[in-house]
Chain A
């Protein structure tokens, strides 16, 4: 701490502007050449791993052949997109993606808010901190582990829940291979993994409330629930609205790993989403051009949704995200 402060103190010396005479652009670049050099590795990564693949989407308009490469592959225009829209799979992919997201919106989204409100009402600081540490923890586990834990609990053979059901004289339930349960399982997993972590932002917003407001409300005889309703909730309303809008922007995204790990042949009718479809068709069946077209369609719709939600966020009087 002392070192940090000491060093930070250097920054408090009066700001001396760089030599104020007008410099040409070239002189400025030359002056900062070592700064550019610092950023160079990152810049190379940015171009190579982010922008080259963006250029790579042109194969969605080709019949890409790995032997011919980008340059020599045959151009086919919108053929792959037409194939996608004509495919009966398309409606299923769209429905599943949307359904999983809507389930998340209605069932997952309110949980961190409620959890944050509850944690905020805890007066015992130690208890609060312990609960926080516990509910944050699952966020750091991989989806593979989460899937493994889900199987441990719900598998038909050795799953704990089915063992308990059997102990009680009830029959076992095929939790993981029944299509009707699939979306609920995904939502439940998301809640278990991320709801606690999601409280951080709401707790931060709540922390900004002036304690005097609660004091005043208590003098007026407001119960704790009324204080939550009239003081705490309005205080986090902006954050809630922003996160809600942001979520709207991600309606096309379903975590690939989560769905991929929970998929099995018996639930494929409800579990195939755009991302898993692209993986299966593109990488496992090597249909590069068609699957790139599918991915591009998803990305463009996603981009429109994100831009739209950013516009909405700005309309709500916030800065927007970019």
Chain B
């Protein structure tokens, strides 16, 4: 069918606007990457930096040479790996339990789960609990409360709903118990969904900020986001100038701005790396769920 003029106009306007929106979404990334590779002298002398002038890796070399940054990177990586693995197992096992229709008390567990979504007692009781448990300044203060994510457990339950109980029947007859069935049949069967949820958990742990601010006061144990906050936010409003980045910079010949940009880039790269997988698996998981349900 031949397109009319107004049809064409509509199409091109639409494409143009979407292109613009895409550029607005991407521009901040582009800008920080460019700045992070620019050398200090050009950054200060040229008021605008829209492509890397005098390409240099100084800022990256610098942040990776500091103990503060590499420590925080390690803490965040540890949180993302250990936290994700444990959360995934605990949430999936709970979701699986409440998805089995034969289970006595199933409704009770579901209601107990949903109530936690409705009523949030606020941060102080949580804070006091962590303190009482002696978990302050420990990464467990971040991992343990996140092991059962009510929301994810419900979504996982919905996914497991699609797996008929008769599937376990033959395994039962062969003498396997529920734990074996869960680990050897259900989990392998659910890999695409697990990948999607795992990556969501991982992004969550990687981005953990608020809990870390509350529970981790020892700066050598700060996860990356807290260090970034100290570097980026505390020194950026022009009120407090003695931020971590300027301290770092004064020891070196790199402008604090450029160090900040490099830090943002490093903190974002892992997400950019897992992102394509996340998309793929998410789509797969959703499709699988709909086919079976």
Contacts and interface: CB of A to CB of B under 8 A. Distances in A.
Interface of A: 4, 7-8, 10-11, 13-16, 18, 25, 28-29, 32, 34-39, 41-43, 45-46, 48-57, 59, 66, 115, 118-119, 121-124, 127, 130-131, 133-138, 140-145, 147-149, 151-153, 155-158, 160, 163-164, 166-167, 176-177, 192, 196, 223-225, 256-257, 260-261, 264-266, 275, 278-279, 282-283, 288, 291-292, 294-296, 298-299, 302-303, 306-307, 322
A148 B260 contact: yes
Interface of B: 6-7, 10-11, 14-15, 17-19, 21-22, 24-26, 28, 31-32, 35, 47-48, 89-91, 93-94, 96-98, 100, 102-105, 109, 112-114, 116-129, 131, 144-145, 147-148, 150, 153, 163-167, 169-170, 177-179, 182, 185, 188-189, 192, 203, 206-207, 209-210, 214, 225, 228-229, 232-233, 236-239, 257, 260-261, 264, 267-268, 271-272, 275, 278-279, 288, 292
B178 A119 contact: no
A148 B232 contact: yes
B32 to A, nearest CB: 6
A62 to B, nearest CB: 12
B147 A42 contact: yes
Given A14-B166, A32-B100, 20 more contacts: A11-B163, A15-B165, A34-B178, A36-B97, A38-B96, A41-B94, A45-B148, A50-B148, A57-B122, A122-B15, A143-B209, A156-B238, A196-B25, A257-B209, A264-B239, A278-B122, A279-B123, A299-B121, A322-B114, A322-B117
A223 B3 CA distance: 11
A64 B227 CA distance: 32
Nearest to B257: A158
B237 to A, nearest CB: 4
B155 to A, nearest CB: 13
Contact of A155 (B35, B91, B236): B236
Given A15-B166, A54-B119, A145-B268, A160 B31 contact: yes
A45 B116 CA distance: 12
A163 B48 contact: yes
Nearest to B231: A148
